[in-house]
């Protein structure tokens, strides 16, 4: 068995590729434009040509949207129009001659966090939240990635917090994503901060909050509180060992973790919240790492 695996995290604008060791460390990596308008076959040829020079035994892809893990094709995708139904598993296997695993990108990222940050604790139940432009998630139950009956388990960003809340990009109102995604953070910053940073990004809003800007702190208090509200319900349902916050927005660290902890501390059912470990592990390309490690696991 070859030591390394390739992880490919496919986004609507850019794709990250990495050569990943069994411990989750990234040996080589690069980023390329996805060029979705040129179609999935063109993308597959470009990506395969790049990684052919690497020494690996399996490939894992993380794709945003609904994924049929058996056929390795997209069922639904918001940012890659025209890619639905294309079998990435078949195309990459034919081109590279190695086992290929295809998974939802949030599931892949959460698996990477589970294996690397939590050291793949046997039989653990983990809720993973990916915080970025949107809010995604994944579930590890009893040490196994939980995909659900149709592969859509873990869509945490579309839990409804308020029936008449702000409009979410999915079309509904009051989704968790409408309070904690990048667009929501920037909208709140414009409403609450007297002096906006330039460029206006979640990272800049976090820096302002750490420098004492009251409006910026209020932004993160709201984001963390809303996340806490959504996660509290899941804690009561799943009684998890750990919750992982992953993705660029999670870099806010204690700014988002502290209000979540306050929400948890206020819950009347104490035991599930006392034992759960809440963390935002150091940022890395979790989608790349998780996709590669899943491919290694599934190749046996």
CA separation (Å) from 227 to 132, 156, 181, 263?
13, 10, 10, 9
Mean pLDDT of 170-181: 94
pLDDT value for 79 = 72
Per residue in 25-49, pLDDT (tens digit) is 999 999 999 999 999 999 999 999 9
Q: Which residues pair with 102 in a beta bridge?
A: 61
Query: Given CA atoms 48, 54, 60, 65 in this order, what sign does their dihedral have?
Result: negative
Q: How confident is the model at residue 2 (pLDDT cuts 50, 70, 90)?
A: confident
Mean pLDDT of 225-254: 96
278 in Cβ contact with 243 (< 8 Å): yes
Q: At what angle do helices 214-238 and 202-210 cross, to 10 degrees?
A: 110
| Average confidence score pLDDT of the chain | 94
pLDDT value for 234 = 96
pTM: 0.93
Per residue in 53-101, pLDDT (tens digit) is 999 999 999 998 889 988 999 888 777 888 999 999 999 999 999 999 9
Q: Which domains does the chain have, with CATH numbers?
A: 5-109+286-299 (3.30.420.40), 119-279 (3.30.420.40)
pLDDT value for 66 = 85
**Predicted confidence (pLDDT) at residue 300 exceeds the cutoff of 60:** no
Burial of 37 (0-12, 13-18, 19+ CB in 10 A): exposed
Mean pLDDT of 198-219: 97
């Amino acid at each position: 068995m070859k030591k390394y695996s390739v992880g490919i995290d496919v986004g609507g604008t850019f794709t990250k590729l990495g050569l990943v060791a069994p411990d989750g460390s990234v040996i080589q990596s690069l980023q390329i434009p996805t060029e979705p308008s040129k179609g999935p076959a063109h993308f597959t040829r470009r990506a395969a040509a790049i990684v052919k020079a690497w020494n690996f035994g399996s490939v894992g892809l993380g794709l945003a949207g609904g994924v049929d893990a058996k056929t390795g094709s997209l069922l639904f995708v918001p940012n890659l129009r025209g890619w639905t139904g294309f079998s990435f598993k078949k195309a990459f296997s034919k081109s590279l001659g190695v086992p290929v695993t295809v998974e939802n990108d949030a599931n892949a990222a959460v698996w990477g966090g589970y294996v690397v940050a939590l050291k793949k604790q046997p039989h653990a139940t983990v809720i993973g939240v990916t915080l970025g432009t949107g809010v995604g998630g994944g579930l590890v139950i009893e040490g196994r990635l939980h995909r659900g009956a149709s592969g859509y388990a873990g869509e945490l960003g579309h839990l409804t917090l308020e029936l008449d809340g702000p409009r979410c990009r999915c079309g509904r109102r009051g989704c968790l994503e409408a309070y904690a995604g990048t667009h929501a953070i920037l909208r709140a910053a414009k409403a609450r901060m007297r002096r906006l940073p330039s460029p206006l990004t979640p990272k800049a809003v976090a820096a302002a909050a750490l420098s004492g800007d009251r409006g910026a702190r209020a932004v993160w208090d709201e984001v963390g509180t809303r996340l806490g509200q959504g996660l509290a319900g899941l804690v009561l349902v799943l009684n998890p060992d750990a919750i992982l916050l992953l993705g660029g927005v999670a870099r806010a660290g204690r700014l988002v973790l502290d209000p979540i902890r306050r929400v948890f501390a206020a819950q009347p059912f104490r035991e599930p919240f006392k034992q759960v470990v809440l963390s935002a592990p150091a940022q890395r390309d979790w989608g790349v790492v998780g996709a590669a490690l899943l491919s290694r696991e599934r190749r046996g």
